[in-house]
Amino acid sequence: MSEHTPFEMIAYTGSRVLEDNTIVFVGTGLPIIASIHAQLTHAPGLGIIFEAGPLTPILDMGMPLSVGDTRACRKACFLKGLCSVFELTQRGHADYAFIGGAQIDMYGNVNSTFEGGTYKAAKTRFPGSGGAGAMAANCEKSIIIMALEPRRFTPKLQFLTSIGYGDGTPDYREKSGVMGSGPYRVITNEALFGFDDATHRMVLLEVAKGRTAEDIQKKVSFELLISPDLKEMVEPSDKDLKLLREECDPDGYFLARKLK
């Protein structure tokens, strides 16, 4: 089997997580690549929403580089604006939110607002919520991509941008007035995580070949729950890599980057 890059592993795992005949609400980058790969393999009935307006476009001009660009809107079934697509999520039309961020805690809450300093004087200000906060609130399940580093898998976020299970209490999301059921999977190149139904804490479900649960725990700054049925992550086949490289991201905008 060919060597794959960390980004290819993330995109492939993202694709595996998406079920056929569902709707995924995506941002730019790896979520789009994962969704295109899923459509080309096990999930031809997967529909995509981009936040600027389109529902279920046909991405026959290639991967969109911006959530509102021509490619994202091409041959959509329904194309209006932000209000209409986010209202679809509130009403239950979107099965998955596919988001990223800078920090995550054990309850799947995500920070994409700032790091260092304070909110009013942020040392490193990120672009902000964008659609992520609304997607995590109201798509039925959230899938979160995060680089596996101790400073990113943190016990306490500096700012909670996208809601997960909050403080882990059973009715946190209900008290927040949101509609979706919450975090579902967290994807990294070395591990796949889910959440425990009772405690809402992050659970290690799968590890990459050659890694152990201890290896993963060292890269996470809070205590992980370990699935009693811990599995090895499936690696992309040569056919998957060919699809990812030649069909999903042929110009290498996202897959060809190097992890820091």
Partner 1 sequence: MKEKIQSPITNVSTLDNYQIRDYSQGFSWWGPSPEEARKIMVKKPKALSDKRTTLKEAVNKYVKDGINLAIGGFVNTRPPVATIHEIIRKGAKDLSLSFQSNSICPELLAGAMLVNPGHLSIKRVELAWWGYEVIGIAPLFRHLCANSMIELDDYTNYGMAARFKAAAMGLEFLPVRDHGGADMELVNRGKMIESPFSGKNTYLVPACYPDVGILSVTAADQHGNCRIFGAHCTCPEIAMAAAHTIVTAETVISNENIRTYPNLTEIPYTAVDAIVEQRFASYPGASYGNYWFDMEHILMFRSASEEFRKSGNADALKKYYDEYIFGCETHDDFLAKLPYKTLKKIREMDGGQPIILS
For partner 1, which is the closer residue by CB, 51 or 206? 51
- Per CB under 8 A, 217 contacts partner 1: no
What number of other Cβ atoms are within 10 A of residue 98's Cβ?
30
Residue labelled with tokens 């041959």 = 75
53 binds partner 1 (CB under 8 A): yes
Sign of CA dihedral 124, 125, 130, 136: positive
190 is catalytic: no
**Residue 51 interacting with partner 1 (CB under 8 A):** yes
Which run of H or of E encompasses 205?
A: strand 202-207
86 binds partner 1 (CB under 8 A): yes
Closest approach of Cβ 134 to partner 1, in Å? 4
Closest residue by Cα to residue 135 from 174, 82, 171: 82
Residues numbered 56-75 forming contacts with partner 1, rule: CB under 8 A = 61, 65-70, 72-74
Which of 3, 8, 51, 140 does the annotation list as catalytic?
51
φ/ψ of 25, rounded to 5, equals -100, 115
Contacts to partner 1 from residues 227-256, by CB under 8 A: 253-254
- With contacts defined by CB under 8 A, name the span among 10-18, 145-153, 161-169, 236-244 that binds partner 1: 161-169
Q: How far apart are CA 18 and CA 73, in angstroms?
A: 21
- As measured in angstroms, the least distance from the Cβ of 1 to partner 1 is 29
Q: Does 109 bind partner 1 (CB under 8 A)?
A: yes
Quick check: 137 binds partner 1 (CB under 8 A)? yes
The number of beta carbons lying within 10 Å of the beta carbon of residue 10 is 29
Which residues, in sequence order, are CB contacts of 209 under 8 Å at separation 6+? 232, 233, 235
Q: Give the residue, chosen from 5, 35, 111, 189, that forms a contact with partner 1 under the rule CB under 8 A.
A: 111
Looking at beta carbons only, is 105 or 206 nearer to partner 1? 105
Question: Rounded to the nearest 10 degrees, what angle do helices 6-17 and 30-40 cross at?
Answer: 60
Check if the beta carbon of residue 89 is closer than 8 Å to that of residue 25: yes
**Minimum distance from CB of 74 to partner 1 (Å)?**
7
Q: Which of 44, 45, 117, 250 binds partner 1 (CB under 8 A)?
A: 117
Determine the length of the chain: 260
Q: Is 218 a binder of partner 1 (CB under 8 A)? A: no
Rg (CA), the chain: 17
Active site residues: 51
